[in-house]
Homo-oligomer: A and B are copies of this chain.
């Protein structure tokens, strides 16, 4: 196997075993059976490694719509679906250019009825997608039935925040922070149903 592949493999295993793993140069290199120099050659900076790993994970993790895959618990499925939304954004430069076009088409120009309509189309599409996931989960009882619009809005906001954070300059370990935030959001949606205006009914 090639060195680069060995490195990514080792890093993926480490992250899979312990999500808070630090992925230090020497630890990953040792696990991959590779020297730190080789690792540095393929990934000039530690950040580069983390970005590649993130891309790899998302790529490998989501082949098709995971919401119907009953072998996974609902939490995991919803998590994967949300990841699927974030995945095509890429990281760093990719995310930045993606945000650039989004900014230029939706925020910068005069707010004519046309751009409004264009954005609302996207928005509705995204809402439909998330709503679909929530209804599927509600059908199998993982989530109280009813009106999910609040939860949909909540999840979309979290996704928006994460996506913009991908474009912004960031310090290390976007990966852990991102999955933790996603976990928190999913946790919240799955624990409090659609019918909790202010009631402290928490698990």
Interface residues of A (CB under 8 A from B): 15-20, 57, 61, 72, 76, 92, 96, 99-100, 103, 106-108, 111, 115-116, 119-120, 123, 150-151, 153-154, 156-162, 164-165, 167-169, 171, 176-177, 179-181, 183-185, 187-188, 191-192, 196, 198-203
Contacts and interface: CB of A to CB of B under 8 A. Distances in A.
Contacts of A103: 99-100, 103, 107
Given A180-B150, A180-B153, A171 B120 contact: yes
Nearest to A199: B19
Contact of A161 (B19, B107, B160): B160
A184 B188 contact: yes
A188 to B, nearest CB: 4
Contacts of A203: 16, 61
Contact of A198 (B19, B151, B165, B201): B19
B165 A157 contact: yes
Nearest to A203: B61
A24 to B, nearest CB: 16
Nearest to A156: B161
B16 A201 contact: yes
Contact of A107 (B76, B99, B154, B157): B99
A188 B180 CA distance: 13
A191 B171 CA distance: 28
Contacts of A185: 154, 188
Contacts of A99: 103, 107
